[in-house]
Amino acid sequence: MRTALITGASQGLGLALATDLAADGWHVVGDARTATDLHRAVGSLGPGEVTAIPGDVADDGHRRALVAAAGSRLDLLVLNASSLGPTPLPLPPLADYDLDAFRRVLEVNTVAPLALVQQALPALRAARGRILALSSDAAVEGYPGWGGYGASKAALDQLARVLGAEEQAVRVYAVDPGDMRTGMHAAAFPGEDISDRPEPVTVVPGLRRLVDGDLPGGRYVAADLVAVGGAR
């Protein structure tokens, strides 16, 4: 049985991917900050398929618990948990950005993923596994008021790029999933009608091309992957 560790697995794209992998016979180790939300989300997937560990990915003890639950071989690490920082967006410009809030965004979106990768690398190397870092178009575009989140995702992109060059036994991807109908998107734009945004499940076939296919490591846009590969 292949094993995946997915952060932020209680909702949105993390839950959609966890559901798809579990249905395909994977053992999924998933986390979320709120225990009630996590257990409610993964409860229907069945015991033995999912190991749910609530906690904050920015906490070192929690990260170690996740890696321990995955075991000695890890086929897939999905760095999905993210923080927008203060909401709603856009925030004040970088000239006035609260630096404590900026540090927190970097801690969750950049430092914590690297720390988790460091702890999981022995198991990933043993399985010749893959790392999937969820990025954003804000990492490459200069959206006013998105400087904190965008900078953290740009840094995550570069971590993925360098890791891919350094770790020959592990394939590393960064992927921009695009706009989706998620709680995070609603938090960014409270009051906005986001019913026209695609559901997270529509992005999963693109992610599965990275999980199951032979594409080289690098940065991808999920819509391009779905358009080329088609729905499974």
* Alpha-carbon gap, residue 164 to 158, rounded angstroms: 10
* Alpha-carbon gap, residue 175 to 207, rounded angstroms: 8
Among 97, 149, 173, 220, the one annotated catalytic: 149
Cβ 157 vs Cβ 139: under 8 Å: yes
SS3 content of the chain, % helix, strand, coil (to 5): 50, 15, 35
* Alpha-carbon gap, residue 165 to 107, rounded angstroms: 23
| 173 catalytic per annotation | no
DSSP-derived letter for residue 189 is: S
- Residues taking part in catalysis: 149
